Amino acid sequence: MFSKDSVIGVIGSGAMGAGIAQVASTAGHIVYVYDNSAKSLEKAQSNLKSSLTKLVEKQKISVELSQSISKNINFVPDLNSFSKCGLVIEAIAENLEVKQKVFSDLEKIVSADCVLATNTSSLSITSIASACTKPERVLGIHFFNPATIMPLVEIIPGIATQQSLIGNVKKLIDGWGKVTVIAKDTPGFIVNRVARPFYSEALRIYEEGIADIPTIDWAMKEFGGFKMGPFELMDLIGHDVNYVVTETVWKQFYFDPRFKPALSQKRLLEAGFLGKKSGKGFYNYAEGTTLLEPDRNTAIGKLVFTRVLAMLINEAVDSLYYKIASKEDLDLAMTKGVNYPKGLLKWADEIGPENILQTMMVLYDLYQEDRYRPSVLLKQMVLQNKGFY
User: Hey, which residues are catalytic here?
Assistant: 121, 142, 154, 192
Q: What is the mean pLDDT of residues 109-118?
A: 97
Close Cβ partners of 77 (under 8 Å, ≥ 6 residues apart): 34, 35, 36, 38, 41
Signed CA dihedral, 185, 186, 188, 193: sign only: negative
Same topology for domains 8-182 and 193-383, yes or no? no
How far is CA 119 from its chain centroid?
10
pLDDT digits (tens, 9 = 90+) for 273-332: 999 999 999 999 999 898 889 999 999 999 999 999 999 999 999 999 999 999 999 999
The residue ranges of every structural domain in the chain are: 8-182, 193-383
- What's the Rg (C-alpha) of the chain? 22
With H, G, I as helix, E, B as strand and everything else as coil, classify residue 380. Answer: helix
User: Is pLDDT at 235 greater than 90 in this prediction?
Assistant: yes
Q: What is the mean pLDDT of residues 19-41?
A: 96
| CA angle (72 as vertex; 70, 77 as ends), nearest 5 | 90
User: Is pLDDT at 1 greater than 90 in this prediction?
Assistant: no
Share of the chain above pLDDT 70, in %: 100
With H, G, I as helix, E, B as strand and everything else as coil, classify residue 343. Answer: coil
pLDDT at residue 291, as a whole number: 85
pLDDT at residue 362, as a whole number: 98
Rounded to whole angstroms, how far apart are CA atoms 327 and 381?
14
Rounded to whole angstroms, how far apart are CA atoms 175 and 166?
14
Q: How would you classify residue 208: left for phi > 0, otherwise alpha for psi between -120 and 50, otherwise beta?
A: alpha
pTM of the model: 0.95
374 φ/ψ angles, rounded to the nearest 5 degrees: -75, 150
DSSP 290-337: PPPPP---HHHHHHHHHHHHHHHHHHHHHHHHTTSS-HHHHHHHHHHH
pLDDT at residue 4, as a whole number: 87
pLDDT at residue 303, as a whole number: 98
Residue (of 189, 75, 57) closest to 123 by Cα position: 189
User: Is pLDDT at 179 greater than 90 in this prediction?
Assistant: yes
DSSP H or E stretch at residue 181:
strand 179-182
pLDDT tier for residue 108 given thresholds of 50, 70 and 90: very high
In 3-state terms the chain splits into helix, strand, coil percentages (rounded to 5) of 55, 10, 35
What topology does CATH give the domain 8-182? Rossmann fold (3.40.50)
pLDDT digits (tens, 9 = 90+) for 44-89: 999 999 999 999 999 999 999 999 999 999 999 999 999 999 999 9
The DSSP bridge partners found for residue 153 are: 143, 180
How far is CA 263 from its chain centroid?
22
Torsion, Cα of 275, 278, 284, 286 (10° steps): 150
What topology does CATH give the domain 193-383? N-(1-d-carboxylethyl)-l-norvaline Dehydrogenase; domain 2 (1.10.1040)
pLDDT digits (tens, 9 = 90+) for 250-273: 999 999 999 999 999 999 999 999
Within 13 Å, how many C-alpha atoms sit on residue 194's CB side?
30
User: Is pLDDT at 28 greater than 90 in this prediction?
Assistant: yes
pLDDT tier for residue 35 given thresholds of 50, 70 and 90: very high
Note whether 93 and 117 are within 8 A (CB): no
